[in-house]
Amino acid sequence: MGEPPAALSIWIIDPPAAAGAAPPTVFVLHGIRDRKDHLLELGRALAADGHRVVLVDLRGHGRSEGDWLSYGVRESVDLARLLDELTARGWVSGPAGVMGPSYGAATAIQWAGRDPRLAAVVAVAPFTSLRDVVRDYLRHYLPGLGELIPDRLVDDGLARAGRRAGFEPAEAAPLRAIRSARAHVLFIHGRNDRNIPCAHSIRLHAAAPPGSRLLLLDGEDHFSITRSGTGTTRQIIRDWFRRWLTASPTPESIRAETTDPS
């Protein structure tokens, strides 16, 4: 049932070779209907801090394979396989972290819930579950009418979508996954987010491992915080990975690769 493992298109941004231990690695994920290209600036900044950065096109996006999205269910498995492959090739050694906005944030949390190798996560405007976020989108885009749609119709629609795409929608649940995570998780959410209200991050933070942090930003909505962010937001993200992955600032260089999990 469902799609086979997807070959993922990635870019690796390296700090220059240096003596001693291999640099810590940060995986950077994009939001829905986006691609890795749009997070290249952040990737370069993280590499300048001494990280090896892996920018990923998630399945069904950019140059990666895959016809169906599963909202983190199958994507988190893809990413665990990617980490396996990069480790086997000697490109990842030591602590690893992951960050992403929105869809990428939810995927990052679900990956952390299944993979204890991740030491740090930055989740920008994540959702607690696919079902919860669908309800919020209905309220936002169908004001008044969205409140009248019964839960049964939402559940039936999700079930049909899951059968067609070959995954179980109930498993797209970062709130459940985070209870199994060992990573230090930073949640960043705009208080003016109407697409995915900040209540999602508040609930996730309450269930997160010790050492996690919640940052709610005034005046930020879903698009301002996930598409571009601010210099302050980017600095907070860099500081989080420096703190938990213990990198040191260095320049960077870029190379592109495509991995095949088969």
Q: What is the pLDDT of residue 21?
A: 67
Q: How many whole angstroms separate alpha carbon 110 and alpha carbon 115?
A: 9
Distance linking the first and last C-alpha atoms of the chain: 17
Within a domain: 143: no
> What residue numbers bound the domain in which 26 lies?
8-127+173-259
For residue 79, tell me if it sits in a domain. yes
Task: Spell out the residues 6+ positions from residue 186 whose beta carbon is closer than 8 angstroms to its own.
Answer: 120, 121, 122, 123, 212, 213, 215, 236, 237, 240
Domain presence at residue 135? no
Q: Which two tokens stand for residue 244?
A: 């938990």
Q: Establish if 167 belongs to a structural domain.
A: no
Answer yes or no: is 197 within a domain. yes
Report residue 180 as tokens.
């199994």
Residue 121 lies in a domain: yes
Q: Which residue has the tokens 């959702």?
A: 127
Q: pLDDT digit of tens for each residue in the chain (262 aa)?
A: 456 789 999 999 998 665 556 799 999 999 999 999 999 999 999 999 999 999 999 999 999 999 999 999 999 999 999 999 999 999 998 889 999 999 999 999 999 999 999 999 999 999 999 999 999 888 877 777 767 788 889 999 999 999 999 999 999 999 999 999 999 999 999 999 999 999 999 999 999 999 999 999 999 999 888 765 567 788 999 999 999 997 444 444 344 444 443 3
**How many distinct structural domains can be found in the chain?**
1
Q: How many CB atoms lie within 10 A of CB 48?
A: 17
Phi–psi pair at 189, nearest 5 degrees: -145, 140
- Candidates 223, 219, 221, 234; CA nearest to 186 is 234
CA 103 – CA 40 distance, rounded (Å)? 17
Rounded to whole angstroms, how far apart are CA atoms 215 and 238?
Answer: 14
Does residue 181 belong to any structural domain of this protein? Answer: yes
**pTM flag (> 0.75):** yes
In a domain, 141, yes or no: no
With contact defined as beta carbons under 8 Å apart, do 177 and 71 qualify? no
Check which CATH number belongs to the domain holding 208 and give it. 3.40.50.1820
